[in-house]
Each structure stands twice: as C-alpha cells, then as structure tokens.
Amino acid sequence: VQLQASGGGLVQAGGSLRLSCVWSGSFVSTDSVAWYRQAPGKQRELVAHITGGSTQYRDSVKGRFTISSDNAKNTAHLQMNSLKVEDTAVYYCKVNCRRSWTAPTQEYWGQGTQVTVSS
C-alpha cells in the first residue's frame, strides 16, 4: 500500500491548510486513518484518528482540526483552521488496511508533508 500526502505549506498564524492523503495498492479494506505530526527535536504524536466514522483528536487541536475520510475513494483530509506556530511540524498520514479478509490489519505510512506556521 502506497500513500501520498500533500497540502502542506507556509501559512501565517490564524490561517488554514487542508492536508490530503491518497492511498493505493492491494487491499480489501481500510479500517482506520490517522494523521501524526513530528516537530524538530520532538517525538511523533497523534493528531487525529478516524475509524468507522468515529473521530478522535489530541486536545491541542480540538475545535480547530477536522479529519475526514472516504475509504471508497481511498482519500482522507485533515482540515486545519486557526493554525498556531506550535502546529509547525511534518505531518504524516497513516492507514490501517487489510490485504485480505482473513488477514490482520497492517499499518502503512506516507512520506510526510511540511506545515510551517509563521507568527
């Protein structure tokens, strides 16, 4: 399974960006999609997660970020509003897919897209 993340860029604080993730390959289902981020010198952290229509967010992005996915189209988005300088990081998309109906889910990662928020 290959993933392509896009939509990152440079934006002023208070602005918005919409990240996209598209995945392809040999699989029968996508069980969940998640966005992570990693700032310089920090550990990678979970930003948002969606599975079966249920979403979860880390506290610092609640009310500002919205995750969505269309598993039929193998596409997911992370809408980021009211961006803050501390949101600056490389954002990664991760999907959990099944290669067959009897196989366990496996996780696959995209290459990351840089988000830089200036003050």
Would you place residue 53 in the very low, low, confident or very high pLDDT band (cuts 50, 70, 90)?
confident
Phi, psi (deg, nearest 5) at residue 59: -55, -40
The DSSP call for residue 22 is E
| Interval 76-95 mean pLDDT | 98
**Mean residue pLDDT across the chain:** 96
- Nearest Cα to Cα of residue 117 among 30, 9, 1, 2: 9
Chain mean position to CA 14: 20
- When pLDDT is cut at 50, 70 and 90, the band that residue 71 belongs to is confident
78-89: average pLDDT = 98
Q: Is the pLDDT confidence value at 76 over 90?
A: yes
